Structures are given as C-alpha cells and as structure tokens.
C-alpha cells in the first residue's frame, strides 16, 4: 500500500513556512499554519509599517509565538523557508520571482497562478525561469476559484464517461456582512447601475475564473471554442437596509456574471456567480434570477451520471465573518507539503497528487 502523504526526510521536517500578507485570509492561513502538525511558521511579511515588529501570533489573534513580522523582503529570503504562503491584495512579479529564485516554494491564493497557460507568455517564462533557478515550484488554490471550480469537479467528473456541461452556481448573500468598504467601494453595491460598473464586474470575474475553467476543460478533454463572460445588475426597487449601511432604491443591490467555456454556441463548463444584498430587484437583463436565501454553491453535472449538489454553510450570521476566511485559506495551507515535494515549475491541481488534509 502506498502512502498518499508526501514523503519528507527527517532532517527537513517540519516544513518551514513564511506567511506573506496578513489580511483576513492571510491571518487565517497563518493561524492554521501555526497549528498544523507538519508545518512551522518561521516568518511573517507585512506591508504596513504599524504591523512590522509585532508578533505573528498577535497579528492572527492568538498568543505570541516568538516570530516577529517584517516589511523587508530581505529578511524573508534570509530565513530560507521551504514555502512562502503568498497572499497579498496586489500581485508583484518581482517579489514572486525573488522568492522562487531564492529556493523557497510558493503556495498562493492569487487567481493568476491557477492556470499558467493564461498568463502573458513573457510573464510565464519569467516565473518558470525563477523556478528553474531556485529549484522551486508554485501553486495556487482557494475556495472559488479552487475548491469549487477544480477539486470538487474533479471528484464529480470521476464518475462520468460523458460530460455535457458542468455548472457551478455561486450564491453570496452579502446583507449580513459588516464590511462597508468591501461592499460599497470594491463590489459596488449602492452605486448607479451603469455600463462601466457592469463591465468592471464582468472583467474581474472573467479574470478570476477563466483560467480555472480552462484548466478543468483541458484536463477533462472537453473541446471548447472560447471562454466568454457576460453579466447583469439587479437594481433595488426600494431602500435596502443591511448591516453595513443603506443601499438606496435605484442603485445596485445584486450582481450576476456568467463565465463559460463555449462549444457550438452552448456552454460546456461554466460558473454563474450571484452576489446580492437583496432579491427585490429589477434586473438589467430582464431575466428572473434564481436567488437563494443561503450563501454557498450549487453544482449541476449534466452527463451520463447526472448530479445536482447543493452546498450551504450551517453558520449563524453573527459568526459568518469569522468563518469565511477559512474557505480560502485552509486549502493552500493543506497543499504546502505537496508543493514542497513537487518538481520545479508551475504545479496546478492537475499536476499535484490529491491534497489530503493532515488534521490533528
């Protein structure tokens, strides 16, 4: 019997990890790295001067652990970690290549690295050269894209011999989120429903999901002509009072985008994202949208073994903000041992062994 867990010599155990960035997801990833039986947090990189010099445990909401945060990349490289958990809000290829060239692997939540085929060729070549120089690998994962667009579909497709279409519906009821900056500034709820806002949303989601969709379609051997994206907005019929503030009548209270691999004018693999603070809306596409009262996902598999799977989160609204970062953070943490043992270069979910969480 073979062991599905990656082998590691006694002299290299545990895997030495640096957390890069400590936002909501990064701080959760750092906390789970500290608790992981096969990982050791040896460093923490932060962008803001007020976090530099503070203890990493304090930054992720636990007792001090004796690891001091730094805002100098030189300090990180000097630690020579096995892996850097790279989770910044803004991607910097100079940082990425410096880390890889130094001999440290990268596991990231950045959507750009899910499918290297979707990177600009010169950027891809640069990252691959950094991996070759450092003997390192790079992998990206998360919840969406990641778990719901890759890991779960791989399992569901394993029972098929014909796959006509796989659709991932994402539902995010944001009305209980007390995050005004995220909801009103980043996502655009409460703004006027204009074409610029709509196109920005569609472009962002195409960037987020197209690489993951293409990766899975290619892995399954599904032929497609193009990956297309379209979207629409839901306009509030009356003022909507949510935890984060008020969404006035006549402004955006819902968003929907479809990113689909198309063949002969029909989708063969698609993600339909539904984000909303109210279902009492007029839609700009004139269609009646399927709003779900609970956040989560629905995966519809159309093939010779059709399936319709619903996923919800049994979490009280008051606990939702504490729960959600783990959706994105936990899978990258679980992937670290596999990435550290992988061959140099890009490692997608298709390239790595099945990631099995080491719990306890």
CATH number at residue 18: 3.40.50.720
Q: Are the beta carbons of 144 and 274 closer than 8 angstroms?
A: no
Per the domain annotation, does 313 fall within a domain? no
The three-state DSSP-derived secondary structure of 209-239 is HHHHHHHHHHHHCCCCCEEEEEEEEEEECCC
pTM: 0.93
Of the CA atoms within 13 Å of residue 232, those in its CB half-sphere come to: 12
Residues 319-325, mean pLDDT to the nearest whole number: 88
Residues 105 and 138 placed together within one structural domain of the fold = yes
Residues 101 and 173 placed together within one structural domain of the fold = no
Please report the pLDDT score of residue 10 as a whole number: 42
Average pLDDT of the chain to the nearest whole number: 94
Per the domain annotation, does 330 fall within a domain? yes
Residues 188 and 274 placed together within one structural domain of the fold = yes
| Overall domain count for the chain | 2
* Residues 253-294 pLDDT 10s: 999 999 999 999 999 999 999 999 999 999 999 999 989 888
Per DSSP, 275 falls in state E
Please report the pLDDT score of residue 316 as a whole number: 87
Residues 125 and 170 placed together within one structural domain of the fold = no
Per the domain annotation, does 3 fall within a domain? no
Residues 166-184, mean pLDDT to the nearest whole number: 91
> Which residues lie below 8 Å from residue 291, measured CB to CB, with a gap of 6+?
171, 254, 274, 276, 279
Residues 128 and 199 placed together within one structural domain of the fold = no
Tell me which residue range forms the domain holding 138.
10-142+325-346
Provide φ and ψ at 320, rounded to 5°.
Answer: -65, -45
Please report the pLDDT score of residue 1 as a whole number: 36
Q: pLDDT class for 358, splitting at 50, 70, 90? A: very high
* Strand spans (E) along 190-321: 226-236, 240-242, 245-247, 252-263, 266-276, 281-283, 296-303, 307-312
Residues 79 and 173 placed together within one structural domain of the fold = no
Residues 114 and 166 placed together within one structural domain of the fold = no
């Amino acid at each position: 019997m073979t062991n599905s867990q990656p082998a590691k010599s006694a002299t290299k155990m545990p895997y030495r990890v640096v957390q890069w960035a400590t936002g909501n997801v990064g701080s959760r990833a750092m906390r789970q790295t500290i608790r992981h039986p096969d990982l050791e947090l040896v460093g923490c990189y932060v962008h803001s001067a007020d976090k530099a010099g503070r203890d990493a445990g304090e930054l992720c909401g636990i007792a001090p652990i004796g690891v001091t945060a730094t805002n100098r990349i030189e300090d990180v490289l000097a630690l020579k970690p096995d892996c850097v958990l790279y989770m910044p809000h803004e991607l910097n290829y100079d940082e990425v290549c410096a880390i890889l060239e130094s001999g440290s692997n990268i596991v990231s939540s950045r959507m750009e690295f899910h499918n290297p085929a979707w990177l600009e060729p010169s950027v891809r070549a640069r990252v691959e050269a950094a991996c070759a120089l450092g003997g390192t690998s790079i992998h990206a994962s998360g919840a969406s894209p990641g778990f719901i667009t890759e890991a779960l579909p791989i399992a569901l497709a394993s029972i098929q011999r014909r796959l006509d279409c796989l659709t991932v519906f994402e539902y995010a009821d944001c009305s209980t989120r007390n995050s005004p900056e995220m909801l009103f500034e980043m996502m655009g709820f409460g703004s006027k429903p204009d074409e610029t806002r709509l196109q920005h949303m569609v472009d962002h989601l195409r960037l987020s999901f197209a690489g993951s969709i293409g990766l899975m379609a290619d892995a399954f051997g599904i032929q497609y002509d193009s990956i297309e994206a379209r979207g629409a907005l839901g306009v509030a019929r009356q003022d909507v009072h949510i935890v984060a503030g008020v969404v006035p009548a006549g402004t955006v209270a819902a968003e929907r985008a479809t990113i689909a691999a198309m063949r002969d004018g029909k989708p063969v693999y698609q993600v339909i994202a539904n984000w909303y603070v109210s279902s009492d809306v007029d839609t700009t596409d004139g269609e009646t949208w399927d709003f779900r009262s609970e956040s989560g996902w629905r995966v519809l598999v159309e093939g010779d073994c059709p399936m319709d799977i619903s996923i919800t989160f049994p979490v009280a609204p008051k606990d939702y903000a504490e729960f959600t970062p783990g959706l994105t953070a936990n899978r990258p943490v679980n992937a670290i041992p596999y990435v550290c043992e992988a061959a140099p270069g890009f490692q997608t979910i298709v390239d790595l062994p099945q990631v099995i969480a080491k719990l306890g």
